[in-house]
Amino acid sequence: LSRSTFFLVGLLALTPVWALPEALSTVAERSGFQRTGRYDEVPALCQAFAKQWPDSVRWETFGHSPEGRPLLAMVVSRSGTLDPAVAQSRGLPVLMVQGGIHAGEIDGKDAGFWALRDLLEKDDPLLKKVIIVFVPVFNVDGHERFGPWNRPNQSGPEEMGWRVTSQNLNLNRDYAKADSKEMLAMLGLLKTWDPILYVDLHATNGAQFQPDIALLVEPRFVGDTALMPATRAMQLETIDRLRAQGSMPLDFYPSARDHQDPSSGFVLGANTARFSTGYWPLRNRMAMLVETHSWKDYPIRVKITRNTIVALAELTARDGAEWLAAAARADENAQSLAGQPVALTFKADESKPSTLEFPGYAYQRPDSAISGAKATIFDPATPQVWRVPFYDIVMPNLVVSAPRAGYLVPASHASWLGEKLTAHGIAFRTLTQGQGSRPLEVFRAQEVKFSSKPVEGHMTANVRGAWSTENHSLPPGSLFVPIDQPKARLLMTLLEPEVPDSFAGWGFFNAHFEQKEYMEEYVAEQVAADMLATDPDLKARFEQRLRDDPEFARDPAARLDFFYRRHPSWDNRWNLYPVMRTQVAPDPKVSHQDG
């Protein structure tokens, strides 16, 4: 289908605008999906929905943005309860649908109000079996940075919000590190509702091609296997339903391996904990990333997003009880990971691509006088099958054995780290008495590479090293984070320093990788002379090194450092990651429960 045919099909399928009570319709609907509303329509719509269906709709403010805007969620159900505690005790599945984490990709806001109004108007029986929590706009400050040129790679609406927050943070990189006020509020909402399925609605960037939507799910690669079959089945059935409604859906994110060159093919990947879809599976629940294709016109994108929400509501109502049972098994499995190998990062096997026949468009790659490189020019009027490599085998990359008992956070880092753990719903205990010297597992970094520029405001640290056993003591106020809890995979991801999305990976422990004390060269000179005079074995090793390692022999600082590193004044805590692991849980009598 050409783009214009798609457009006509889309328009014919829209609800006639004149049939809508105005208070329940969006600016988008009233403008034929040429425009989208400003944020003030969101509280107005929430109020109008709750007024129209008082028994089935309520709305709440779950936090405020840095600029003071309320973060709103609309709760919809005809199960007889709109209360999270009652929902949990009755085993009602909760579907959470989130729009506008990237506020320029605002399809989800307009699609969500449309889908929910349709379900409520026809009194759909599915609403008796599910609770839907709809967050129309997550990035509310970004939504109000409104303008016509905020999405240069997207077709409509006429004006839209901005990708990141008023603090210039990308919320879909903030799940694990939880820096922003918005994310802390969202983690609170997730803790309250504990949705079995969390759906994050976006529009893509990237090349031009025929498919109009991509649905990615986890646990597929990330997380516990107990949830994988149901999650994959949910993804494939949603795809079938969308295809039956005229869409061309994908089950992977279609960004070319070389972004500018479609012939480079596609890589399957697992999202990491900074993303919604990488984070929520670590809490043993299902997540879906929905990406409409940004070059489809806005009316079509909203329609497809609406169809996706309705399909997911139907599947949650039908299968939610089964999903909750699988999630409970995953929670149980997570509590017995102690001592087991746990895959914490994943990567595609780049050695064995299959061949994918991908429904693209004809394109050319002429030399560009403008860039001096190849340009890509798509011809969306001419469908063309791209036969391209597809790197579709995803394998565990970093695998770490879980500690036997848990992690120990020293008192020096207990305050900020305890707050983060609490926000993530991770249980821990505070040691009321200190712990004398005893064998603990410590991580000494052998290599730390810092990012050369900030990433989300952080100088990230690529840490390499190993755990080994040493004797250490701990002061009172230190934290014990037990491994035997449902969020074991999440806490390992946050506390294992080699994981890029851990606190160490995000740079929260960078100060521990800086050398803080030095020996003056003239002092080192004297120290070295004394050591050489009194330690013949050291003298032999030094001379051996001079013969074997010409680079060392040419480096005056390295030659002096050889002695400083072996001297009692050397800082034994440089490159020591301060969080430790223990094989024995501290006595519960000398700790109290937090988090």
Q: What minimum distance in Å lies between the beta carbon of 377 and Zn ion?
A: 25
Strand 341-343, strand 249-250: pairing: unpaired
By C-beta, is 255 or 335 nearer to Zn ion?
255
Residue with token string 């509590």: 335
Alpha-carbon distance values, 28 to 33, 40, 69, 419 (Å): 4, 14, 21, 40
312-331 residues near Zn ion, rule: CB under 5 A = none
DSSP assignment, residue 48? Answer: H
Tell me if 257 contacts Zn ion by CB under 5 A.
Answer: no
Q: What minimum distance in Å lies between the beta carbon of 202 and Zn ion?
A: 3
DSSP assignment, residue 178? Answer: -
Among 270, 258, 300, CA closest to 13: 300
Phi and psi angles of residue 550, each rounded to the nearest 5 degrees, phi first: -60, -35
The residue range among 113-121, 195-203, 509-517, 537-545 that interacts with Zn ion, by the rule CB under 5 A, is: 195-203
Region of residue 469 (phi > 0: left; psi between -120 and 50: alpha; otherwise: beta): beta
Q: How far is 594 from 592, CA to CA, in rounded Å?
A: 7
Q: How far is 295 from 156, CA to CA, in rounded Å?
A: 9
**How many chain residues touch Zn ion (CB under 5 A)?**
3
By C-beta, is 137 or 405 nearer to Zn ion?
137
By C-beta, is 167 or 192 nearer to Zn ion?
167
The residue range among 34-42, 102-110, 317-325, 391-399 that interacts with Zn ion, by the rule CB under 5 A, is: 102-110
Q: What minimum distance in Å lies between the beta carbon of 102 and Zn ion?
A: 4
Binding residue for Zn ion (CB under 5 A) from 202, 285, 429, 472? 202
119-148 residues near Zn ion, rule: CB under 5 A = none
The residue range among 94-102, 302-310, 504-512, 529-537 that interacts with Zn ion, by the rule CB under 5 A, is: 94-102
Give 268-310 as a DSSP string: -----TTSHHHHGGGGT-EEEEEEE-TTS-HHHHHHHHHHHHH
Residue with token string 């036997």: 404
Cβ partners under 8 Å of residue 140, min gap 6: 39, 65, 69, 70, 71, 100, 103, 182
Across-strand partners of 357? Answer: 387
Q: What minimum distance in Å lies between the beta carbon of 279 and Zn ion?
A: 15
The residue range among 43-51, 101-109, 124-132, 358-366 that interacts with Zn ion, by the rule CB under 5 A, is: 101-109
Tell me if 301 contacts Zn ion by CB under 5 A.
Answer: no
- Reading the block at residue 416, the tokens are 């900020």
Q: What minimum distance in Å lies between the beta carbon of 103 and Zn ion?
A: 10
Q: What minimum distance in Å lies between the beta carbon of 215 and Zn ion?
A: 14
Tell me if 581 contacts Zn ion by CB under 5 A.
Answer: no
The residue range among 22-30, 196-204, 401-409, 459-467 that interacts with Zn ion, by the rule CB under 5 A, is: 196-204
Q: What minimum distance in Å lies between the beta carbon of 203 and Zn ion?
A: 7
By C-beta, is 314 or 501 nearer to Zn ion?
501
Tell me if 102 contacts Zn ion by CB under 5 A.
Answer: yes
Q: What minimum distance in Å lies between the beta carbon of 333 and Zn ion?
A: 31
CA angle 580, 586, 592 (to 5 degrees): 105
By C-beta, is 151 or 181 nearer to Zn ion?
151
DSSP assignment, residue 154? Answer: S
By C-beta, is 78 or 202 nearer to Zn ion?
202
The residue range among 95-103, 186-194, 264-272, 348-356 that interacts with Zn ion, by the rule CB under 5 A, is: 95-103
Under the rule (CB under 5 A), what is the footprint of Zn ion?
102, 105, 202
